[in-house]
Amino acid sequence: MVGSSHEALHRIFQKDPALLTRALQSVLHVPFPEPREIAALNVDLTEIEPVERRVDTLLRAETDEGTYLLVVESQGKVDDRKRGSWPYYLSYLYEKYRCEPVLIVITQSSATAKWASRPIRLGFRDWHSLTVRPLVLGPDNVPVITSERQAERDVPLAVLSAMTHGRGPQAPAILESLASALRTIDPDSAAVFVQFVDSCLADPQAKQMWRDLMTAIQYFWRHPLAEQVREEGREQGLEQGLEQGRAEAKAEMILHILEWRGIPVPEGLRERVEACTDLGQLEAWAQQAVHATDAAELFAEK
């Protein structure tokens, strides 16, 4: 299970390796050749000496122009130790595999992206023995996908957008369009993507909104990530009965979705939702809450 944004930010490329080359081509405008095949490799770069060195994700891309190693590093903050480790990774991988390594850094921070994009030059001022120039994916160049249609065209890229921009002001629109797009792919892949996004949402309100959306379309509950929430529901249900506890949790979720989307919730409507114990009715209201533009639409006949 992915438990951190660091893991999610690079493991999305293990889930969909082709997303990485699409990002290089369409986001960074790097003329990387179209791969015929991409394979994941062992990320352990440890030598005989007891010094452990690991890259985050390592992919081998076979193209008509040759074989490339795509080294993906998830970077949360500025870390000047990378001036030594990144050149080492590239040199070691070239020596081991005898094919060209390409370093890609992904981050949720604009400041970190700016730092990571600076070339690492080793040598003296007028003669650099080695220069490393990372390609960087971050908030300033990963597209902000707020359109449901655009999200459906490339769901993995929409996931990357949510992971990168999940803490910004456009997060609600990004998450809502992605929630709809996830309905168009197979449920198992959707469940993995749900976890990636959940791991990257640092803002507690955005995380709760995302979980409410995923509960409404029943993807969140397919993953072990939901076990903690289910356990909390069980504890509440012991006193009042499990079914009543589930109804109360569903009602609370509906109200969360409406409030998150900026839709005013009148007291009478709130009381009606909270008083409902029919799980089927609550499920229908939850799905309508995702798209409603007014709280009254919740009770409109379909």
- Burial call 221-245: b when 16+ CB within 10 Å, e when fewer: bbbebbeeeeeebeeebeeeeeeeb
- Which stretch of DSSP H or E encloses residue 242? helix 242-260
pLDDT in the model for residue 158? 95
Helix (H, G, I), strand (E, B) or coil at 122: strand
- pTM value is 0.70
pLDDT by position in tens, the chain (length 302): 555 788 888 888 888 888 988 888 888 898 888 888 888 888 877 665 545 578 899 999 999 999 999 999 999 999 998 888 999 999 999 999 999 999 999 999 999 999 999 999 988 777 888 999 999 999 999 999 989 899 999 999 999 999 998 776 788 889 989 988 998 998 888 888 888 898 888 888 888 888 878 876 665 445 554 555 555 545 544 444 556 667 777 788 788 778 777 788 888 888 888 888 888 888 788 777 777 788 888 877 65
